[in-house]
Amino acid sequence: MSVTSLSADMETYSEIIQVEEFDSQQERELILRCQERDTAAMGTLVVQYQHWVYNIAFGMLGHHEDAQDAAQDAFLSVWQNIDSFQFRSRFSTWLYRIVRNKCLNVIDQRKRRKTDPMEIDDSQPWVPLDTVTPEQEALRTEQNEILHAALDRLKESYRTILILRELRELSYEEIAEVLNCTLGRVKSRLHEARKALRAELERTDW
Amino acid sequence: MKHQRIQKHLSAYFDNELTSVLRKKVEDHLRVCQECTEMLEDFKVNRERIAELVHPAPSLKNAVLAKIRETENAPQENFLSTLRRWVFRPITVGATALSTVCLVVALYFFTYTPSPQYDELIDFYFGVHTQEVANNPLKSNVATPLNTPVTDTEDFGEETDTLLDIFFQD
């Protein structure tokens, strides 16, 4: 990764974290404009959600380019199906459901191609949220790689629920909506997923 | 409540998703159970680690808008092109071929009528000639030849005829 692209990424990141969360009314107006085929409104929605959409996809796929493609496809699907969104659920949960389906498609394609799912692409730098020494950064990167590999060895349903809860911090109700299952199922699956991740990390002397 | 049952609620306890009654039970259990306490601690550490897995997302806006423009500008599919695309899918071609073969086989079986040559061939194999059997009643119990004309009158024997005569006279 060159210094130029790293700084470009950092600029993008600072741009993204400066994006203020929309309130529900602003979001509703944007969606309504998208339903009237306003591409500028769609661009704003993309900027608003690209960070989490990309990170959920990366968490599920563990590969930068695949995550980027899945995120782009998800936004394209949103544009193509925005008319079917009737404000019965939160837009974010509807969007994350689309992202999950796109990621499942990529996983299916990988299975058909029989590519190695353990191949983690870490070409993207971790975000240094605070000032760290190079040693600390190296240690963090190594730990993140171990964690990513452990996540990748989990069942897809466990990986997805962990990403949605621990990374995106969705509530149980929102997770149930994204995964289209009951609250009880979310509770039990999340517990099993956490236990499975703990076992995987213990196996690798985390 | 037993250890295993309490442990199932540990994750929901960690996420503050339990009722006050259950929460109290879990807390009481945690005071005496080292295994569950360690598990809870690991859940916390793993959450913090996963939360750190945040990558700077690339800017997707331009790429997405370009894809949208591409799809919007793409020529709209008309009915014929959609039909052509569906018809020439491998699964459609395969299914059509299979259905055609099934239809031909079914038609063959349902509309088949044996030809006279076929009858002769069958008679030949069974050693019975239609004409020979028709002319020689002694051989009629050997096999019933094909295409034997059905006679309206049947001979029930002298005794039956006599009984029938008596019946009709009365």
Tokens of A91: 């837009």
B6 interfaces chain A, CB cutoff of 8 Å: no
pTM for this entry: 0.63
Determine the structural domain holding residue A21 and report its residue range. 3-203
- Is residue B38 located within the same domain as residue B10? yes
- Please indicate, yes or no, if residue B64 is contained in any of the structural domains: no
User: Is residue B46 a contact partner of residue A201, using CB atoms and an 8 Å limit?
Assistant: yes
Q: Chain B residue closest to A122 (CA)?
A: B55
* Residue of B22, B36, B60, B73 for testing the chain A interface, max A β-carbons within 10 Å: B60
Single-letter code of the amino acid located at B153: T
B13 contact partners, CB below 8 Å, separation of at least 6: B22, B23, B26, B40
User: Residue B120 half-sphere exposure, CB side, CA atoms within 13 Å?
Assistant: 4
Q: Say if the Cβ atoms of B10 and A71 lie within 8 Å.
A: no
Backbone angles phi, psi at B155, to 5 degrees: -90, 110
**Least confident segment among A9-13, A42-46, A158-162, B107-111:** A9-13
Measured CA to CA, the distance from residue B108 to residue B56 in angstroms comes to 68
Domain count, chain A: 1
Contacts of B68 in chain A (CB under 8 A): 39, 42, 76, 79
Q: Say if the Cβ atoms of A127 and B54 lie within 8 Å.
A: yes
- Please indicate, yes or no, if residue B154 is contained in any of the structural domains: no
Q: Could you tell me the sign of the dihedral formed by the alpha carbons of B96, B101, B107, B110, in that order? A: negative
pLDDT per residue over B92-149, tens digit each? 888 889 999 999 999 888 877 766 677 777 766 666 566 666 666 555 555 555 565 5
Task: Using CA atoms of A110, A111, A115, A116 in order, give the dihedral in degrees to the nearest 10.
Answer: 110
DSSP states of A15-75 as a string? HHHHSPPPPHHHHHHHHHHHHTT-HHHHHHHHHHHHHHHHHHHHHHH--HHHHHHHHHHHH
User: Is residue A99 a contact partner of residue A72, using CB atoms and an 8 Å limit?
Assistant: no
Tokens of B167: 């019946």
Q: Taking chain B, what is the end-to-end CA distance rounded to the nearest angstrom?
A: 98
pLDDT per residue over A101-149, tens digit each? 999 999 988 888 765 554 555 555 444 445 567 777 788 788 888 888 8
Q: Say if the Cβ atoms of B60 and A58 lie within 8 Å.
A: no
Domain count, chain B: 3
B47 interfaces chain A, CB cutoff of 8 Å: yes
- Is residue B100 located within the same domain as residue B124? no
Tokens of B45: 């550490």
Q: Say if the Cβ atoms of B49 and A143 lie within 8 Å.
A: yes
Q: Chain A residue closest to B5 (CA)?
A: A188
- Is residue B7 located within the same domain as residue B32? yes
CATH of the domain at A44: 1.10.1740.10
- Please indicate, yes or no, if residue B45 is contained in any of the structural domains: yes
Determine the structural domain holding residue B125 and report its residue range. 114-147
Q: Say if the Cβ atoms of B57 and A16 lie within 8 Å.
A: yes
